[in-house]
Chain A
Amino acid sequence: NAGVTQTPKFRVLKTGQSMTLLCAQDMNHEYMYWYRQDPGMGLRLIHYSVGEGTTAKGEVPDGYNVSRLKKQNFLLGLESAAPSQTSVYFCASSPRQELWVKRVQETQYFGPGTRLLVL
C-alpha cells in the first residue's frame, strides 16, 4: 500500500498562473482533506470531502477549489495563484465514520506534502 500520495512534490508558479494538486489514497477511505502549513502556524484546513462527489469548505478556502470525482482522488485547484498561497500543502484521508460529530475519532493519514512557491 502506498497510503496517501501527492503530486507534484514541488512547484514554482508565477502570480496569476493556475495549477492543480493531486492527492490519491489506496486505503479506501471515505474522507479526504487538504491542509496548508505555514511557518509558526498549525495545519489549516482548506477544503474537505466526506465522500465521492461531495466537498465542503474548511477554515481557509478562499482562492482554492476542489473536486472529488473518484473516491480515491482529491484535487486541489488554484485558479489564479497569489504569493500568499506560497505554502506546503498536505493531503490527508481518514476512514468512514457513522456520524461526523465531535465525538467521532478521526485519525488522519497524511501525504508527503507539496511545496508551492508563488512568485
Chain B
Amino acid sequence: SQKIEQNSEALNIQEGKTATLTCNYTNYSPAYLQWYRQDPGRGPVFLLLIRENEKEKRKERLKVTFDTTLKQSLFHITASQPADSATYLCALGTGKLIFGQGTTLQVKP
C-alpha cells in the first residue's frame, strides 16, 4: 500500500543545534516533494520544493535532500531558534499533493 511517514514523536532540540526531520514514503513515484510549516491554529505555509532530479536544495538556514532510491527526504534547520518551533509537513507531488502527518519540532532556549 502507499504510505508517507513522518516521525510522529516530537523532536526536541537545543537552540543553536541543527534539527533534522525525516519524510519516508513507499509505493509512490513523486516528481517533486514540498515542505510546509504549520503553526498551531494556522494553515500550512510553503517552505521549499525539491524536484526528483535534485539532490539538495537550500534556502537560508533550511536544507532539503531528496533520495529517490531510499524514498526519503531530510529537512534540516541549522542554527535553530525557538521561533522555529512548529509542525513541519512533507508533501509528495504526484499530480495531487499527498501530505504526511507532520513532525512537531520544539526548540528550547
Contacts and interface: CB of A to CB of B under 8 A. Distances in A.
B4 A42 contact: yes
Given A40-B8, A42-B4, A106 B42 contact: no
Contact of B46 (A44, A58, A101, A107): A107
Nearest to B47: A107
Interface residues of A, number: 26
Contact of B93 (A4, A44, A90, A105): A105
Interface string A77-105: 00000000000001010000000111111
Contacts of B44: 43, 90, 108, 110
Given A42-B98, A58-B96, A100-B95, A105 B32 contact: yes
A94 B56 CA distance: 24
Nearest to B34: A107
A26 to B, nearest CB: 15
Given A101-B95, A102-B30, A105-B32, A42 B101 contact: yes
12 contacts: A35-B99, A42-B4, A43-B99, A58-B96, A102-B94, A105-B51, A107-B49, A108-B97, A109-B46, A112-B41, A112-B43, A113-B43
Rank and list the top 3 A-B pairs by shortest CB-CB distance, nearest first.
A110-B43, A42-B99, A43-B99
